[in-house]
Chain A
Amino acid sequence: MDALISLFRDSWHWAAGTSFGVALVLAVLFVVGFISVWAMFGVWLERKASADFQSRLGPMEVGPHGLLQSLADGLKLAFKEDLVPKDADRFLFVFAPAVAFCGAFAAFVAIPFSPAFNVIDVDLGVFFVVAITAIGVIGVLMAGWSSNNKWSLYGAMREAAQLVSYEIPSALALMIPVLVTGSLGLRSIVEFQCMPSDGDLKAASLVYLSPNGWLAFYSPWTLVAFVVYYVASLAECKRAPFDLPEAESELVAGFHTEYSGLRFSFFFLEEYGMMFVVSAVATAVFLGGWQPLPWLSVNFATLGIVGHLLAAGVFLAKTIFLVWVQIWLRWTLPRLRVDQVMVMGYKYLIPITLVALTMMACYAAYGIRYVPGIG
C-alpha cells in the first residue's frame, strides 16, 4: 500500500519535476473530473432533498432513484443550440462563463482531502482560496453586462454588491483560525486540529486524543467565526436567503437569463463548485478536516492507502453535510431584500467578526481558550 502511495507520489513529483505541462494536464483532469462528478451528485442531492422537503418524489425515472438524471440533463444542455443574443457583446458573452467558472475551479487545487492528498499544498491556502474565488464575480459582471438585458444587468450589479460586501466578514472570520494556528496553509490548519498532546503527529497511535480539537469548538470566538463564515459563504455562493442575483420572482433568472446550453451549464458548475469549495474550506478550517470527531483523531497516515481513502471519506462526508445544510436553508427560507442583505452584512456580520477577532487576539495573547480565569 505504501508502495502504491509512494509510486503515486513519485510519479507525481516526476511529472511535476520534468514537465510542467504533464503536471498541469493531470491536475486539470483531476479537478475537472471531480467538479463534474460532484456537480452531478450535488444537483441530484439538491433535487432529492428539495423533493423531500416538499412532499414530492423528485427525479425517479433515470437510473435508480433518478441518480443519472443529472447526466441526462447535462447531455441535453450539451446538445442545445448555441445562442448569443443579437445585440449582446459577443466576446464578453462567450468569455464570461469561463471566467466565472475558473474561480471555483482553481480553488479546488488547495483543498486538502486527506493527509497526503491535495493537488498542491499552497502555503497561503486560506488567502489563495479567498482571493481566487473572488474572480467569479468578474465573470458574473461580464455576463450581466454583455447580455444586453436589463434583468441580467440587475442580477450582475446585485451579485457584485453582495459579493464585495460579504467577502469582508468571511475573510475576517477566516483570520480568526489563522490567528489561532499561526498559519495560512489549509493543510497545516487541519494538522493543528489533529495535533496530539505531545505534538508529534508521526509518532501518534492509531486513535488518539488531540487537545486542540475542531477549531469551531476551540474557543467561543472561533465558534462565532464559524457561524459568520457559514452565513457569509451562503451569500458568496448566491444561495438562499441571499439568492438575490438570480432571484427568480424578481429578476427572471438574474445574470444568466440569456444563457442556454453549455454556457449555462458552466454557471451551474460554478454554483455547485462554489458550494463545495466554501463547505470544504469550512470543513478544513473549522471542522477538523479529516478528524472524525472533535478531539478524537485517527492516524490515517499509518493505514496506508485505505487510511487516505477513509480520511478523504470523512472530509467529504463533512463537506457534503455542510452543502446539505445549504440546500436545507434554501428550501426553507424566503429571500431577503437588497437593503436587508446589506444591513445584515455591514451592521451585523462585520462588527461581530471584528469583535470576535479582537477578543481572540486578546485570548491568544493571554493564553486563554474558553473563559478568562478558568482556561
Chain B
Amino acid sequence: MADAMTTASSAAPARTFIVPGDPLRPPDTHVDVRTQELQINMGPQHPSTHGVLRVAIWVDGEIVTRADPDIGYLHRCAEKIGESVTNIQYVPYTDRYDYLAAMNNNLGYCLAVERIAEVEVPERAQYIRTIAVELNRIASHLMAVGTYGLDVGAFTPFFYAFREREEILRILEWICGARLTYNFIRIGGVMRDAPEGWIPDIQKFLDLFESRLDEFNDLLTHNHIFVQRTANVGVITLEDALGYGITGPMLRGSGLRYDLRREAPYLLYDRFEFDVPIGTGIKGQVGDCWDRYWVRILEMRESVRIVRQAITQMPAGEIMAKNVRHLAFKSKPGEGYLGTENPRGELGYYLISEGQPNSYRSRIRAPSFCNLSILGKLLPGTMLADAVAIIGSTDIVLGEVDR
C-alpha cells in the first residue's frame, strides 16, 4: 500500500497532496501545526482536591504526563505555635490539623506529652479515650469513602455516609460539646466522664451501623461501574509504599499488615481483639484504589469491634490523673517520639522538653503529608479521571498536610 502511494505520488506530481506512506495525513504537511502539552491547574479551588491542594498537571489529551502537587495553601505555622504556647494550651491546636479525626490528634499529642512528663492516666479515662478515638476513626473513614464516591461521580452514597457520620458527631457532641474540633482528650485524661445514657446510645448506634454498612457496600463498593473505575487504577506496590513512607490504610491496601495499634500498642489496644485488614487485590491488583477503599470499609468494622469490647470492659473510676496541674508551670526535661495510628496513617509527635511548660521543639509527622508524596509518581500515565480517583483514594486532609 505504502509503496503504491509512493509511486503514485512520484509519477503524478499533480497529486502531491498524498503524503507517501501516510494517506491519512492532512493534505499540506508544511502547515505549521504546533502541538504542545497542555498544562492544567487542578486546584487550589477544585471540587475534588479535598481542600486547598493544587496539582499542576500536564496532559496529552486525556492522559496525564506529569503531575506536580503544590502544597502550602493552608500553612499556619503549627509547629512553631507548638513551641510558643504551653503544652496544655497546645491541645486545641492539634484539633485543627486532621480536622476529620480531631480526637486522634488530641490523643497523639497528649500521649507524647504524658510519656515525657511521666503521667499515669487512669484506666477509665483510657477506655473513654479508646471509644472516642475509634468512633472518630469510623466518622473519618465514612467521610473518606463517601467523598470517594463523589470523586468517581456517585452522589448518593455520600449522603448515606454522612447520615451515619452525623450520628457519631451527635454522640461525640454529647460528651464534649463540639462536633468537629473536640479538645476532649486532655493531658492526663479526658475532659469529662461519660454522661448517663451515652454508652447505651453508642451500643444502639453500633447495632444499626453494621447493617447500614452492608447497605453501603451494596450501593457503592460492589457496583460494577465503581469497580471498573477503581480496580487496577493507581496501583502502589509494597516497595513503593515503603519507599515513600506511606502508612495507614494506604500501606495496608498495598498488602502489608502494619498497624501501630498492633505493632506498638498504646492506650489499651493490647487488651482488645481485632484484625488488621489488608488489601488482597480481590477486584484487581494488590494496592489499587479499590483495595485502599476496601481496607477503610473493613477497618470500620474492626473499630466497631473495638468499641464494643471497650464498652464491656470499662471500669468505674477517675477520669483525670492526679499529678497534672504542675504541667502548666514546669515539665520534666526529655525528648521523645510517639507514633499513633491516625485514620490516615502514622501520626507522630516528636517533642523536646527542657523543663519549661512549653516544648523546645514540637515536630509533627503528618500521615497525609507523606501519603501525598507519591502522587507525583502515581499520576503520570493515567487518565484525567483516574487522577481524580487516585487523589481521592489517598484520603488526604490538607489541614494536616500543610499544618
Binds B, one of A50-58, A202-210, A307-315, A317-325: A50-58
The answer to whether A334 and B154 have CB atoms under 8 Å apart is yes
A333 to B226, CA, bound (A): 8
The answer to whether A248 and B47 have CB atoms under 8 Å apart is yes
The answer to whether A151 and B385 have CB atoms under 8 Å apart is no
Minimum CB distance partner of A241 in chain B: B225
A338 to B385, CA, bound (A): 8
Give the contacting residue for A150; candidates B40, B149, B152; CB below 8 A: B40
A340 to B383, CA, bound (A): 11
Give the contacting residue for A249; candidates B62, B150, B223; CB below 8 A: B150
A240 at the interface (CB under 8 A from B): yes
B313 at the interface (CB under 8 A from A): no
Interface size on A, residues (CB 8 A): 27
Interface residues of A in 47-74 (CB under 8 A from B): 50, 53-56
The answer to whether B225 and A252 have CB atoms under 8 Å apart is no
Shortest distance from the beta carbon of A118 to any chain B beta carbon, whole Å: 36
Minimum CB distance partner of B220 in chain A: A334
Interface residues of A in 217-249 (CB under 8 A from B): 240-241, 243-244, 247-249
The answer to whether A336 and B228 have CB atoms under 8 Å apart is yes
Shortest distance from the beta carbon of B394 to any chain A beta carbon, whole Å: 15
Interface size on B, residues (CB 8 A): 30
Q: Which residue among A55, A247, A252, A334 has the maximum number of chain B CB atoms within 10 Å of its CB?
A: A334
Chain B 119-163: CB-based contact to A (< 8 A → 1; otherwise 0)? 000000000000000000000000000000111111110011001
Chain B 364-394: CB-based contact to A (< 8 A → 1; otherwise 0)? 0000000000000000000111101000000
Main secondary structure of the interface of A (DSSP, over half): loop
The answer to whether A337 and B383 have CB atoms under 8 Å apart is yes
Chain A residues near B154 (CB-CB < 8 A): 332-335
Chain B 34-48: CB-based contact to A (< 8 A → 1; otherwise 0)? 000010110000111
A261 to B290, CA, bound (A): 40
Given known contacts A55-B163, A331-B155, A333-B223, is B46 in contact with A247 (CB within 8 Å)? no
Chain B 311-342: CB-based contact to A (< 8 A → 1; otherwise 0)? 00000000000000000000000000000000
A82 at the interface (CB under 8 A from B): no
Chain B residues near A336 (CB-CB < 8 A): 225, 228-229
Beyond the given pairs A150-B40, A243-B153, A339-B383, 7 more chain A to chain B contacts, judged by CB atoms under 8 angstroms and listed by A's residue number, are A53-B156, A55-B160, A247-B385, A332-B156, A333-B223, A334-B220, A337-B386
Question: Chain B interface (Cβ within 8 Å of chain A)?
Answer: 38, 40-41, 46-48, 62, 149-156, 159-160, 163, 219-220, 223, 225-226, 228-229, 383-386, 388
Question: Chain A interface (Cβ within 8 Å of chain B)?
Answer: 50, 53-56, 150-151, 154, 240-241, 243-244, 247-250, 252, 331-340
